[in-house]
Amino acid sequence: MALKLFDLKGKIALVTGATHGLGQAMAIGLGRAGATLVINGASSQAKLDNAIAEYKALDLNAYGYLFDVTDEVSVIKNIKRIEHEIGDIDILVNNAGIIKRTPLEDMDVSDFEQVIKVDLVSPFIMSKHVVKGMIKRKKGKIINICSMMSELGRDTVGAYAAAKGGLKMLTRNMATEWGKYNIQVNGIGPGYFATSQTAPVRVGGHPFNEFIIDRTPAGRWGEPEDLQGAAIFLSTKASDFVNGQIIYVDGGILATIGKPSNE
């Protein structure tokens, strides 16, 4: 019985921005739990094809769709294609996102708006059109990938923090409006993870590497696979009475005010 709570066999999961990095890691976790994967990418067909090949090399059932999650017309078109070609979408993971590291006083308005559009508006667009089918079926799971920056500020990431803070509240409002349809909407807030993007600051004695390790009670950077448990939990029956919550997968950073004691 316990294992069935975390079983995704027969479920279809659409994960945006899952051609690499944390999105890919979460999608792999859902696939290993039995879900059929629908992977979205936006940069190039070649990159999407390569990612699908990687999923299939792991014996996962995966399909790729190339479209811009900020383009509502394209989103509507591709959701209809997915539902026709693959089936009803049971799980939506709004993972696609960008960050631009610029001091606010130097940031162009166009750059600020782009971050908001990708990180906050696109989850609204995707959820708005996927949830229509979920409402008809009276069931569904939506996971918004938030961030520790949903709770904290930091130099040069003002636009990103604003978007992720907004996404936290959007998650709670989605849960409020759609809970009556047996739809659960929750968020995952990753901490600092060892990815290709963070590789430059994790080598060569970089001070930021030491700062993160000292600041994290777990004493390490997260590995992408560390997100899989939360993603599976929020996608399965195990979380049927969990709604409007943000699960922070951060090694304990948000739980502490400073460097953990060595005593």
Q: Find all residues with CB under 8 Å of 109, minimum gap 6, and list them.
A: none
3-state secondary structure the chain: CCHHHHCCCCCEEEECCCCCHHHHHHHHHHHHCCCEEEEEECCCHHHHHHHHHHHHHCCCCEEEEECCCCCHHHHHHHHHHHHHHCCCCCEEEECCCCCCCCCHHHCCHHHHHHHHHHHHHHHHHHHHHHHHHHHHHCCEEEEEECCHHHCCCCCCCHHHHHHHHHHHHHHHHHHHHHHHHCEEEEEEEECCECCCCCHHHCCCCCHHHHHHHHHCCCCCCECHHHHHHHHHHHHCHHHCCCCCCEEEECCCHHHCCCCCCCC
User: Which pair of structure tokens corresponds to residue 217?
Assistant: 């009670």
160 assigned to active site: yes
Q: Which of 55, 65, 160, 248 is catalytic?
A: 160
Buried-exposed string 228-263: b where 16+ CB fall within 10 A, e elsewhere: bebbbbbbbeebeeebbbbbbbbbebeeeeeeeeee
Task: Report the catalytic residues.
Answer: 160
